[in-house]
């Protein structure tokens, strides 16, 4: 089903450029308000959270206008993690939740993603219907039925208590020295508060947002800052979140990084040993390392693969009754506790494993040997479609032939940026490098 605005994780782009304009946000709010306000039998409400981007003020205001124009009452949460919006949508009996964030993207970008009344992200079909309403225009509410808007001050604290409750009863993090990198983003207050209240000694970095420094040389996509802090302070572990705190990377006591695949592998085995892993399977995307799949098979478990995007992971989890899934990039979804990826919650699960086993982070963070993997991105221009060019298709076919039997190739368009992602895996690194480089060169030539 073709969609003009929505990608793999809501609507996203450069602020004040199509489609991320205030006008679009107003129309999107009105369309979503009309879609979820299906009758007039009760109060209809929406909760809106955001990260720390400067443009968040603009989009928050525009979406509030759109929602209230259709009779929806708006509850503004301020800066909170994305998973907090999913949680509060259900706990506050809202019809819809909105998170204004471009996640790990630079500060100049922003995005809008929706949660349904069940706290889960919307389906492709629901997003397509909202787009249809945007194009057709929606009838505003009568003057007497315009919605109200107000700020909610305790949303962050509700989320904090929910996250803390996921640790085993009575467990304390006392004795652990933890570096937490909040990426100058949505969790800049939440994450340090939660860790300190649970007993940890906290070294916080990336907690001074100014509207323009989110994800800037910090967070899950730039772990060097936190790694340096781990080593400098002699910390036991580092937790790196992204701008909206739905992703996580773990650092061991040496500053070495463990990605989402390693964390999922650790949790899948632990949960299986405890009889907690529903369906004997982990759900992950096509990007997850082949080494993870082999590790799970050796443990008698399965890896269920989906398209890229944590909401596709969640859809498969719900369809199959699975309770653990995620992405190599650090989205970890635990439906026993949350409706979407939650970086802080996943980080706490790792800390709980450290406490329960008495083992160092480095002993827990590398549960399998990754198959060599190479990912390169090629940016393309507006209106271009390099994957349709004959020379690109020929390069892809040649790379697939070379990798056949000892690896795999994955070519896809990013759902959040104008990028072609070229990823390959192979035990033969020479073949791996040649395959990726040849495809990248062909794509680059097609974009000239």
- Annotated binding-site residues read 103, 242, 244, 246
Please work out, in degrees rounded to the nearest 5, the angle formed at the alpha carbon of residue 148 by the alpha carbons of 142 and 150: 170
Catalytic residue among 103, 270, 288, 426: 103
Q: How many CA atoms lie within 13 A of 102 on its CB side?
A: 24
Contacts of 357 (CB under 8 A, 6+ apart): 363, 364
Contacts of 36 (CB under 8 A, 6+ apart): 44, 46, 72, 95, 96, 117
103 is catalytic: yes
Provide the annotated binding site for Mg(2+).
Answer: 103, 242, 244, 246
Query: Which residue pairs from 226-233 have beta carbons closer than 8 angstroms and sit at least 24 positions apart in sequence?
Result: 226/179, 226/181, 226/251, 227/251, 227/255, 227/256, 227/257, 228/255, 229/179, 229/181, 229/203, 229/205, 230/179, 230/254, 230/255, 231/255, 233/177, 233/179, 233/203
Angle value at C-alpha 133, between 130 and 137, nearest 5 degrees:
145
DSSP letter at 142? P
Up-side HSE of residue 132: CA atoms within 13 Å toward CB?
A: 9
Which secondary structure element, helix H or strand E, spans residue 78, and what is its range?
Answer: strand 73-79
Active site (catalytic) residues = 103
């Amino acid at each position: 089903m073709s969609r003009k605005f929505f990608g793999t994780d809501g609507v996203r782009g450069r602020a004040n450029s199509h489609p991320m304009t205030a006008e679009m946000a107003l129309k999107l709010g009105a369309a979503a308000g009309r879609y979820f306000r299906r009758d007039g039998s009760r109060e209809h409400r929406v909760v809106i959270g955001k990260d720390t981007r400067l443009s968040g003020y603009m989009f928050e205001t525009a979406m509030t206008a759109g929602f209230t124009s259709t009779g929806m009452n708006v509850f503004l949460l301020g800066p909170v993690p994305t998973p907090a919006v999913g949680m509060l949508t259900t706990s506050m009996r809202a019809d819809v939740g909105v998170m204004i964030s471009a996640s790990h993207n630079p500060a100049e970008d922003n995005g809008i993603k929706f949660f349904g009344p069940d706290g889960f992200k919307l389906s492709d079909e629901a997003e397509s219907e909202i787009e249809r309403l945007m194009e057709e225009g929606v009838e505003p509410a009568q003057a007497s039925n315009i919605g109200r808007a107000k700020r909610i001050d305790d949303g962050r604290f509700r989320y904090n208590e929910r996250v803390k409750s996921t640790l085993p009863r009575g467990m304390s993090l006392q004795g652990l020295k933890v570096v937490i990198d909040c990426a100058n983003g949505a969790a800049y207050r939440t994450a340090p508060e939660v860790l300190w209240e649970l007993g940890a000694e906290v070294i916080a970095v990336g907690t001074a947002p100014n509207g323009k420094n989110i994800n800037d040389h910090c967070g899950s996509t730039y772990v060097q800052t936190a790694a340096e802090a781990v080593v400098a302070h002699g910390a036991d572990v580092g937790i790196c979140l992204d701008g909206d705190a739905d992703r996580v990377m773990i650092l061991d006591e040496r500053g070495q990084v463990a990605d989402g695949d390693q964390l999922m592998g650790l949790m899948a085995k632990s949960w299986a040993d405890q009889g907690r892993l529903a369906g004997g399977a982990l759900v992950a995307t096509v990007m997850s390392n082949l080494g993870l799949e082999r590790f799970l098979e050796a443990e008698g478990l399965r890896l269920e693969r989906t398209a890229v995007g944590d909401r596709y992971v969640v859809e498969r989890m719900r369809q199959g009754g699975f309770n653990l899934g995620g992405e190599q990039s650090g989205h970890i979804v635990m439906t026993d506790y949350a409706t979407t990826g939650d970086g802080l919650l996943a980080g706490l699960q790792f800390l709980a494993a450290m406490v329960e086993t008495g083992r160092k982070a480095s002993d827990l963070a590398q549960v399998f040997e990754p198959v060599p993997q190479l990912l390169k991105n090629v940016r393309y221009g507006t209106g271009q479609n390099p994957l349709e060019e004959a020379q690109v298709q020929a390069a892809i076919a040649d790379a697939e032939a070379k990798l056949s039997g000892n690896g795999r190739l994955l070519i896809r368009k990013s759902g959040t940026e104008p990028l072609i992602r070229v990823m390959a895996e192979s035990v033969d690194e020479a073949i791996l490098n040649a395959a990726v480089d040849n495809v990248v060169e062909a794509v680059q030539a097609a974009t000239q």
